[in-house]
Amino acid sequence: MEQLIVFAILISLGYFFGRNAEKGHYKSIIEREQTWLQLPTTSNKNVLGDDREIKQCKLVSGNVVISVDYFKQILAGLRSVFGGNIQAYETLVDRARREAVLRMKESCPGADQIINLRLETASISKGRGNQIGSVEVLAYGTAVFFHR
């Protein structure tokens, strides 16, 4: 009986604190995305329709590692038994991708465009039972600076 109570407490704490942290992170992401909305970013290899002379190009990157909370691990374990989308991991990967792109944009103030955007995703830590422990996302591209 004690084990069941401990399990229920961990699930409740994981849900409450994980949900709170996720909401706060999404709020931060949305605010920062509005700040960087004016910086065009594309996976195209060519500069987007600008006839100005290019002053400089440089490789820029943004990296993030986000851990999976206990509640999400439990949900994913249950979902893997019954099948279907694991929504808990989908939000984790969504936050990680968006955060990595934001960090990349923040690394090149004054850039006019970022072209050739690429995203790499990896599981860098395994939990018990071969579950995902944390996710790493690397966003990289070429920052283009035009002559003014």
Q: If you average pLDDT over each of 44-58, 67-81, 134-148, which comes out highest?
A: 134-148
The mean pLDDT of 22-31, rounded to a whole number, is: 92
For residue 11, what is the domain's CATH number? 3.30.110.70
Q: What is the pTM of this model?
A: 0.81
Residues 6+ apart with CB under 8 A from 83: none
Helix (H, G, I), strand (E, B) or coil at 54: strand
Percent of the chain with pLDDT over 90: 49
Residues of the domain holding 125: 2-146
Task: Please report which confidence band the pLDDT of residue 129 belongs to, taking 50, 70 and 90 as the band edges.
Answer: low
Helix (H, G, I), strand (E, B) or coil at 124: strand
Q: How many domains does the chain have?
A: 1
